[in-house]
Each structure stands twice: as structure tokens, then as C-alpha cells.
Amino acid sequence: MEAPMTLQGELDALEADILRMGEIAEHSVGRSVEALLERDVALAQAVIAEDDVIDDLYLSVDRRLLQTLALQTPVAGDLRLISAIIHINAHLERIGDMAVNISKTLLSVRDLPSSPKILSQLQEMGDVVRPMIRTSMEAFSRRDLDLCLKLPKMDDPVDRLNMGMYKEVAALASDPLLLDWGMRMNMIARNLERVGDNAVDIAEQVGFLLTGEFREFTDASHEVAPRG
Amino acid sequence: MAVTTTDVVRRNLRRQGTDWGGLLFEGALLFALLVSLGFLIILVGQILVQGLALLAERGTSFLTSQSSSLPGRAGVSQALVGSLMLMLFVVATAFPLGIAAAVYLEEYAADTRFNRFITVNVRNLAGVPSIVYGLLGLAIYVKAMSGFTGGASVISGGLTLAILVLPIVVITASEALRAVPQGIREAGYGVGATKWEVVRSHVLPAAAPGILTGTVLSLARAFGETAPLILVGAVTGVFFTGSGSLVEKFQGAYTSLPTIVYTWSKLPQAEFQKLTAAAIVVLLVMLLTVNGAAIWLRNRYERKW
Amino acid sequence: MTDESTLVPALTGALAAGVATPETAEIVFDIRNLSVLYGTFLAVRDVTLPVHRNEITALIGPSGCGKTTVLRCLNRMNDLVPTARVEGEILYHGVDLYGKDVDPVEVRRRIGMVFQKPNPFPKSIYDNIAFGPKIAGFKGDMDAVVEGSLRRAALWDEVKDKLKGSATALSGGQQQRLCIARAIAVQPDVILMDEPCSSLDPIATARIEGLMRELVADYTIVIVTHNMQQAARVSTRTGFFTVDVSEDGHRTGTLVEYDKTEVVFTRPSDPRTEDYVTGRFG
């Protein structure tokens, strides 16, 4: 017979699962970029298969969030935590999907030529977004507002590289196969930029959890948040 | 639209004239109280003046002398002994019977029409004039059971007072039992107690203070009864109580304090008027003591559920 | 610390007589088509629900829906009401609770009850707890029983120095925990709770709910509560009752839905249940 549910017990379990999802998601992003750089088809397929783990966790967390809300009627900090976890759960699932997209893109371009310069830029993007995921997760687990506020600044190079990717790809116009490859790489850059955005969103949620106020750190329409 | 400026509010809140009706009513109530007290004070005052003077003059010999036709030698010792013995009978018979009856009525009897009929009539019995009980006592104890009681003895008198007081004991004990919160009984049943265990261990102990107070008050009532005792043969004349056997003491002549007050008050000599007053003082002192004891008991054991 | 092994044989000797074997132990109460009448008044109609062992089962619903009536049938407290009549069947570990050979006093020793308003006996704390075992014939170490019961009810530390003090001097929450300890002292199989927290403040309520979660490991608990959130927080299964008004104005309680608590509070099958738990009813 299972022990009766206590609110604190449930919250602790949900938080533990979110942190685990964060680890797996960050790992998947890293492996998908690695597969891309090494042209490692088996690794890419492994990333795609492992997304099931993230999806299962996502569904489990979602179901238990609903149950906790219905049965325990949390308020105040507990309610903000539930709200934050609802959003973070979705963002991590999205990050997992981005890793799958990157791996699927590799599978479709594995026989095409590549440009080392573009690959190194993508590697650079990957090297920035992975710490972003890690930092936002750590901000959550340590309840650290200062860490949250670091995220927008970490996103700057990712945005810059993503914007620059278009010009780099355009420069490949002379070689049709390379151009084809390059346009897919543009999509991968977009995916990595989305990963970065999701990490910033996670930090926003943690900021809400800690302060009770929701502030957009980065807004497509205008700059809002303080920088670092 | 409500006007709420300070001046307007102040004006509205000020007292609107004096409440003459209320004052008048209060005055009338006070007057009624003073009139009642007045009668009491005049009555008691008169008695105290006369009685205390005699007690001061005679001292404890008043309490230790027997009745006599000579006012200078008459005393209330037999009356005191008689009253005490009568009370003994009341305590020994009316209290256990009355309390047991109350326990049955309140805890065991089903709520049928018959039982409600009984309860109503117990109340009616409490209101029956005491002289009727005297007649009853005369017929049963003095005449029919004279072999056991010895006729007009303190046994008959005591039993007569006992049945007089019995309805009151049943009623006050019932009230005390009813005042015990139902939650306590449920708690008892809840841990698997039988009805008797619940009554014995919880209901009776909880009701005990109330029962005690009620029975002591009924004792005070019995103490002051005169008419029934005269009917069942308390001596109203002079008699001598010697050193007879215990049985003779119980089956022989007796009297009580209220009876001796009655007796003396009818005698022509002026001296006996003073004796009457003194006896009344003794009677009042005893009644106040008993009532005071009841109040003290009630305050001591008063429970807050 | 208490050695329960000496306590259990002494009581189970008395308890064991007349109880069916534990093959049906999963279901403690098998309530089938239970109806209760007070004279001609049908208070509750045709209730069927199984109560499972070592679970907290909650009965919820508006006033007058019969949930307390049903609860009081489970330990035959309704026997104390002269006009009460029970139809249908309640099987306790397979035994008909209202069978001819069944003694209600023995029933109440195994199925204890905690009431809405705390009702400690107006005696000492020690005597409150000792009463039940004493009348059950317990001859062993009463001090150990008292301490054990008070510890399990999370009251020992607060009262251990004033066991001879009056029970009515305790606060409301403490009195209710004392009543729980008193119920536990006779080592029941089941604890019935009739709105146990309705006269307590939120902190005392939270303590009692925590206590219930601990006790359910050893006892089966059935709780009637008009506080839905409490039912949601503590129970494993919930039964929702409502009042049926017939054409001639008679009000009778009925069981609408009985399911796992998370189902009742996230996706109830009956619209009446949905209306009640969302607060739209009444």
C-alpha cells in the first residue's frame, strides 16, 4: 500500500524529476551537436530514441501536477512552484524536441558536403546553449535569482551567431549541394537559438517563483530586462 | 445620500431626550424589591430582637433542656434530637429511592407515553400540599404498620417526610442527570462500554454535584415541615424523654423544631412568646446552615463542560 | 518504550471471539443496499460501498445527506436511537454486523469512534485512556498502554507531566487528540471519525490530518467531513452523497459516486459530483 500523498512529498518528487529532465535534455542537445560534427549517424539515432524518456517524464510530471492541484489545493509559494514546474516541464520537452530535430536534420544531410566554418559556428552555439540549460536548472535547484538574471546575457552570442548564419549560408550559393546542406544548417542554427530561448524562459519562470512577479527577460518586441 | 460630515454625525449620535419610560420601569422594580425586603426585615427583625435576648439570657441551657410547662426551664433539646432523627430517615430512604428512580427514568426508560405520564405525575406529586402526605402517613405508617413503626413515632414521622420529599429528589436528580452532556455517554459507548458502565463510571459521577445540591435542598425543605408531622403524631405538649432503650427511643414520643415553635406559640404565657422567638432563631440558623452548605457544595463542584 | 506484545494477547483474547477469518481482509466493510429509517422517515437509501483495509475512506456531501447516519451504522451507534431501523447488509470481515448473535458492545470495541465535538470524560487524562481497556478486562501494564496510546496520538510530550490533570483543561486540538488516543487504547481494527476537525482551528486540523496519515498504516479509517479539501488531502477513496427530494417533499440521502479520490476530484463521473466539488452546488 502506498503511503498517503503529502504536499511536500509530491513537490519534492516533481522537482527531482524536473532536474532529471534538465540533465537529460542538456545531454541530448550536446549529443545531437556532437553527432552533427562527427557525422555520427548511430549517435543521432540514439538521441532520437532517447527522446522517449523525456516525453514519458513530461507526461508523468504533467499528470501529477494536475493531481496535486486538485487534491492538495496548494497556495502561495507552493502554488508558484507548481506553476513554474508546469512551464519548465513544457520548455524542457521542447528542448528535447529541438535535439531530435537537429539529429533528424543530420540524418537527412549525411551524404552531403559540409563547410568547416559553419560547423564550427554551430559548435560554438552548442557550447553556449548547453551551459545555459545547466545554469537555468541550477538557478531553479538553488533558488538563485542572480543566476536567473545571467541568462539573458548568455543568450546574446547565440542570437548573434544565429543572425549571422544567414550570410554564411548565402555565401555558399555557388555550390548547389553545399547550399542545400547550408540551408539545413540554418535550420539547425534556428533550433539551437530556440534552445537558448527556452533556457531563458526557464530562468524567467524561476524568477517568477522567487519574486512572485513575472518579468520577461527578453521580449521579441523590445528589451525589458536588466543585463546581467 | 447619507451625510457624513463630522458635525452632522455628532448631532445624530447625541442622545435624543431622556428615556422616561425606562426610568419609571426601573423605579417600579426597585420599589417592588424594597417592599419585599421590607416585610422580610420587619419579620426577621422582630424575631431576632426577642429571640436573641432570650438566648443571651438563658445561654446553652436553652439548647440542652427538655420541654417543660415552666418557661424558665423549657428548652429545645428534644426538638433538636427529633429533627435530626427525622432527617436521618429522609436521607436513608428518600435519597437512595429517589436517585435510583431518577436514574431509571432518565437513562433506562424508553420514551413511551406511559413513561412520560409517570414523569409528569412525579412533578404533580411535588406540588401536593404537605398535609395530604400527613394523612397518608397517618393511614399507612401510624395505623396500618403500627407493629413495625410503633404508631406515632419518629419512624412514622421520618417515613412520612421521606415520601413528601421523594418527588423533589426524583425531579432534582433527573435534572442533574439530564444536564450531563450526551457527548460523554456517546464517548463511553464509543469505547465499548455497556449502559451500566456508562451510567456508573461517567453519568453518575458527572451528575453527582447536581444531585447532591438538589438532595441537600430537599433536606432543608423537610426540615421545616410542620403540618404532616402534627398529623402523624409529633408531640405538641410537654413530655419527658428518659434514658430508654434505643428501640423505645425510636418508637416513643418525639417532636421537631417547627412543631415546638407551633406548640409554644399557642401557649398563653408571655414568656413562651419569647421562647417561640428563640426557637425560631435556632430553626433559622439550622436552615441557613443547610442551605449554605448546598450553595457551598454547588460552587465547589460546579463544572464547566 | 512500550512493549505492545504483552498488550495485544490480553486484548485479542477477548477480541478474537466471533470474528471471521482474514480471507476477506482486503475489504473491511462490505456495505450492501444499506437503508436507514428513523420511524417512518427514510434517512438514507440503498447505499453500497466497500471500505478497504488500511485506507482512509471519506464520505462527503451536503447537510442531511445521510453520511453521518451511514458512519454510525458501522459501529452500531444508531442502536442508541430507539426509532432507528437498518435494512440491507453490512458485512464486517464477512460477518453480518447486525446478525442476531452480534453484541453491539463487542462491535464498538473493535470499531472505535472519534466525534465532532471533542468529548473527553471529565476526569484525568490518565483515566480517560484507561477506561476503555479496563472495562475490556485488560489486566496488564496500564501505564504502558496509556503512554503508548498518547504517543501514537502525538500527545505524549505535551501531557506526560500532567497525566493526573483534568482532561477538560486541554485545548480543543489537544482534547481531540486525546479522544483519538482513547479510541486507540482499546486496540480497535477500525477508527470512525465524524467530522473530527470541524470545531478546530487550521493548525490543529493539520496536526490531526498528519496523525491520520500515520495511523492508517495500522488502522482502517473512515471519515465523514463537510470539508471537501480535507477529503481531497487525506483520503484514498471518496464517497459523495446527496439529498434526494421526492415529490411529497421527503428528503432522503443517497450515494451518488464512490471512487478513488483523485478521480472524484479530477474527473468525476456524475455531474452532481462535479457541481458539488467545484462549489457550484447549493
CA distances in angstroms from C84 to A198, C37, C72, C76, listed in the order given: 66, 6, 11, 10
- The verdict on a CB contact (< 8 Å) between B192 and C136 is yes
Residues sharing a CB contact under 8 Å with residue C201, sequence separation 6 or more, in sequence order: C172, C173
Mean pLDDT lowest for which of A88-92, B86-90, C258-262? B86-90
Q: How close C198 comes to chain A (CA, Å)?
A: 18
Residue B109 within any structural domain of the chain:
yes
Classified as helix, coil or strand, C166 is: strand
Q: Which of C82, C115, C123 is nearest residue B186 as measured by Cβ atoms?
A: C115
CA distances in angstroms from B126 to A25, B109, B175, listed in the order given: 91, 21, 14
Tell me if chain B has a CB within 8 Å of the CB of C117: yes
Q: Is the pLDDT of residue A223 over 80?
A: no
Residue B288 within any structural domain of the chain:
no
Which residue from B265, B260, B258, B253 is spatially nearest to B225, judged by alpha carbons?
B258
Query: How would residue B59 be classed by pLDDT, with cut points 50, 70 and 90?
Result: confident
Per-residue pLDDT, B145: 83
Q: How close C103 comes to chain B (CA, Å)?
A: 10
Q: How many residues does chain B have?
A: 305
- The verdict on a CB contact (< 8 Å) between C56 and A4 is yes
How confident is the model over B128-151, as pLDDT tens digits? Answer: 999 999 999 889 888 888 777 777
Rounded to the nearest 10 degrees, the angle between the axes of helix A7-38 and helix A76-109 is: 20
Give just the sign of the alpha carbon dihedral B4, B10, B15, B16: negative
Per-residue pLDDT, A16: 97
CATH of the domain at B173: 1.10.3720.10
- Type of residue found at C195: E
Per-residue pLDDT, C168: 93
- The verdict on a CB contact (< 8 Å) between C54 and A72 is no
> How far is the C-alpha of A109 from the C-alpha of A186, rounded, in Å?
13
Which of the residues C68, C108, C189 would you substitute to probe the B interface, choosing the one with the greatest number of B C-beta atoms within 10 Å?
C108
Which residue from C102, C101, C38 is spatially nearest to C72, judged by alpha carbons?
C38
One pLDDT digit (tens) per residue for chain C, 282 residues: 344 433 333 334 334 444 443 334 489 999 999 999 999 999 999 999 999 999 999 999 998 899 999 999 999 999 999 899 999 999 999 999 999 999 999 999 999 999 999 999 999 999 999 999 999 999 999 999 999 999 999 999 999 999 999 999 999 999 999 999 999 999 999 999 999 999 899 999 999 999 999 999 999 999 999 999 999 999 999 999 999 998 888 899 999 999 999 999 999 999 999 999 988 875
How confident is the model over C153-202, as pLDDT tens digits? Answer: 999 999 999 999 999 999 999 999 999 999 999 999 999 999 999 989 99
Q: Is the pLDDT of residue A22 over 90?
A: yes
Which of the residues C74, C107, C121 would you substitute to probe the B interface, choosing the one with the greatest number of B C-beta atoms within 10 Å?
C121
> How far is the C-alpha of B63 from the C-alpha of B209, rounded, in Å?
33
How confident is the model over A150-194, as pLDDT tens digits? Answer: 999 999 999 999 999 999 999 888 989 999 999 999 999 999 999
Question: CB-side exposure of A175: number of CA atoms within 13 Å?
Answer: 11
Residue B16 within any structural domain of the chain:
no
Residue of higher predicted confidence among A125 and B276: A125
Q: Is the pLDDT of residue B240 over 60?
A: yes
C-alpha cell at A18: 524536473
Q: How close C67 comes to chain A (CA, Å)?
A: 21
B201-218 average pLDDT score: 90
- Type of residue found at B59: G
Per DSSP bridges, beta strands C95-96 and C84-92 are: antiparallel
How confident is the model over B148-196, as pLDDT tens digits? Answer: 777 778 888 889 999 999 999 999 999 999 999 999 999 999 999 999 9
Per-residue pLDDT, C13: 38
Per-residue pLDDT, C18: 41
- Size of the B and C interface in Cβ pairs below 8 Å: 69
Residue B45 within any structural domain of the chain:
no
A36-52 average pLDDT score: 95
> How far is the C-alpha of A184 from the C-alpha of A214, rounded, in Å?
35
| Three-state SS letters, B246-272 | HHHHHHCCCCCHHHHHHHHHCCCCHHH
Q: How many residues does chain C have?
A: 282
Residue B206 within any structural domain of the chain:
yes
> How far is the C-alpha of C239 from the C-alpha of C261, rounded, in Å?
8
C-alpha cell at A40: 555520427
Query: How would residue A217 be classed by pLDDT, with cut points 50, 70 and 90?
Result: confident
**Domains of chain B: total:** 1
E-strand ranges in C80-188 read 84-92, 95-96, 111-114
- The verdict on a CB contact (< 8 Å) between B188 and C121 is yes
> How far is the C-alpha of C12 from the C-alpha of A17, rounded, in Å?
46
DSSP A221: S
What residues of chain C have any CB closer than 8 angstroms to a CB in chain A? Answer: 54-56, 213, 216, 229, 232-234, 236, 261-262, 265-266
Number of other CB atoms surrounding residue A119 within 10 Å: 16
> How far is the C-alpha of B294 from the C-alpha of B291, rounded, in Å?
5
> How far is the C-alpha of C90 from the C-alpha of C68, rounded, in Å?
15
Classified as helix, coil or strand, B132 is: helix
Per-residue pLDDT, A57: 96
Closest residue, chain A, to C218 (C-alpha) = A1
Q: Is the pLDDT of residue B266 over 90?
A: no
Which residue from A92, A89, A87, A66 is spatially nearest to A10, judged by alpha carbons?
A66
Are the C-beta atoms of A67 and A86 separated by less than 8 Å? no
Domain hosting B102: range is: 81-255
Q: How close A4 comes to chain C (CA, Å)?
A: 6
> How far is the C-alpha of B72 from the C-alpha of B52, rounded, in Å?
15
Are the C-beta atoms of A34 and A123 separated by less than 8 Å? no
Per-residue pLDDT, B244: 64
CB proximity under 8 Å: A 201-220 to C: none
Q: What burial class does residue C2 get, using C-beta atoms within 10 Å of its C-beta: 0-12 exposed, 13-18 middle, 19+ buried? A: middle
Closest residue, chain C, to B107 (C-alpha) = C80
Residue B225 within any structural domain of the chain:
yes
Which residue from C164, C162, C159 is spatially nearest to C177, judged by alpha carbons?
C159
Residue of higher predicted confidence among B288 and B241: B288
Residue B14 within any structural domain of the chain:
no
How confident is the model over B72-85, as pLDDT tens digits? Answer: 777 788 888 888 88
Are the C-beta atoms of A95 and A133 separated by less than 8 Å? yes
Residues above pLDDT 90, as percent of chain A: 81
Name all chains with 3 or more CB-CB pairs below 8 Å to chain C: A, B
Per-residue pLDDT, A3: 57
Element (H, E) at B6: helix B6-13
pTM for the model stands at: 0.81
> How far is the C-alpha of C220 from the C-alpha of C71, rounded, in Å?
13
DSSP B144: I
Residues above pLDDT 70, as percent of chain B: 94
Rg (CA), chain C: 19
Per DSSP bridges, beta strands C27-38 and C84-92 are: antiparallel
Tell me if chain C has a CB within 8 Å of the CB of A76: no
Residue B226 within any structural domain of the chain:
yes
Number of other CB atoms surrounding residue A171 within 10 Å: 14
Tell me if chain B has a CB within 8 Å of the CB of C82: yes
- The verdict on a CB contact (< 8 Å) between A4 and C216 is yes
B223-249 average pLDDT score: 76
Number of other CB atoms surrounding residue C88 within 10 Å: 17
ipTM: 0.86
- b vs e for C228-248, b when ≥16 Cβ sit within 10 Å of the residue's Cβ? bebbbbbbbbbbbbbbbeeee
Do C and A share at least 3 CB pairs under 8 Å? yes
C-alpha dihedral, A81 to A84 to A85 to A87, nearest 10°? 160
Cα angle, residue B219 at apex, residues B215 and B220 outer, rounded to 5°: 120
